[in-house]
Amino acid sequence: MAVLIDPSMWPAHGTVWSHLVSDTSLEELHAFARANDVPRRSFDLDHYDVPEHRVAELVAAGAQPVSGHELVSRLIASGLRVRARDR
């Protein structure tokens, strides 16, 4: 049971972005996001997009840093992954 965050590597809007996910439940993910002032508008079906400047703060709050590959693997294993074709 963990909230995970991958390295910032997705460019958009003048910065790079990370993904914040839960490998347990969307409720856990939303609760973590609320507790850390991550805006709900950043949620995209199975993850939150967070700008690079927030990563250290979210890790300090308990998000576990993992590789992008591990994040996707654990999201798929949790059953929470929304496939690209289903978006």
C-beta of residue 21 within 8 angstroms of C-beta of residue 2: no
Element (H, E) at 65: strand 64-65
CA-nearest of 70, 86, 75 to 21 is 75
State yes or no: pLDDT of 8 exceeds 80: yes
Which one has a higher pLDDT value, 27 or 85? 27
Question: Could you say which DSSP state residue 80 is in?
Answer: -
Q: Confidence class of residue 32 from pLDDT cuts 50, 70 and 90?
A: very high
Question: Could you say which DSSP state residue 1 is in?
Answer: -
* pTM > 0.85: yes or no: yes
Distance separating alpha carbons of residues 76 and 23, to the nearest angstrom: 8
What's residue 1's pLDDT?
Answer: 66
State yes or no: pLDDT of 23 exceeds 70: yes
Residue 43's SS3 state is: strand
Task: Count CB-CB contacts under 10 A for residue 87.
Answer: 8
Provide the token pair at 57: 């703060």
